[in-house]
Amino acid sequence: MPPLVLVDAENVRRSRWPNIPANELVELCNAWAARQGVEVEVVFEAEESADDRIALRADELAVAGRAYWLVTSDRGLRGRAGAAAERVVGGGSFASELTARGAVPEGWSEIEGALEREFRFDGFLQALAFVNRVAELAEAADHHPDIAIHYNRVTLRWWTHTTGGITERDRELASRTGELA
């Protein structure tokens, strides 16, 4: 069973300026966990403090003999939840790893905060069929690109409006879109 990574969300979010939006943090953590082959729990403040919930979860994991990592720069939380952790990672270091500029997928260009690519087809119907395949992918992912159709050319732009730029999800969907052409 892979380690479970407990992420002190507010500590990580606030370690960057501008702060990482909460929804983007969850997206970045999930993508990072998939690449690392670990599981992740991103813990935000709620009625019970995130610190209390993380400390309780760490105790449960330790009793169960489950490996876990702790992500926080909070010394108090490290003291409460870090003793049995396999790894303890600072929130700022983790945020830097999450937000490091990823590679631009092959065939794509980064233009004005979006991944952009033009696809050419034999005619309008082939271009439209491609757009329909992209639409199915976008609907399944609940994330939609900007699309421009010019007879036999289709220009796609993947970006995330809530962050005003490119996220790991955009990179993944751009790569998958290239496979649909």
Half-sphere exposure of 41 (CA within 13 A, CB side): 16
pLDDT surpasses 90 at 162:
no
Question: 161: pLDDT confidence band, cut at 50, 70 and 90?
Answer: confident
pLDDT of residue 95: 87
pLDDT of residue 101: 64
Distance CA 107, CA 58 (A): 44
pLDDT of residue 163: 66
Residue count of the chain, please give it.
Answer: 181
Distance CA 16, CA 168 (A): 17
pLDDT surpasses 80 at 43:
yes
The secondary structure of residue 123, as a DSSP letter, is S
pTM beyond 0.85: the answer is no
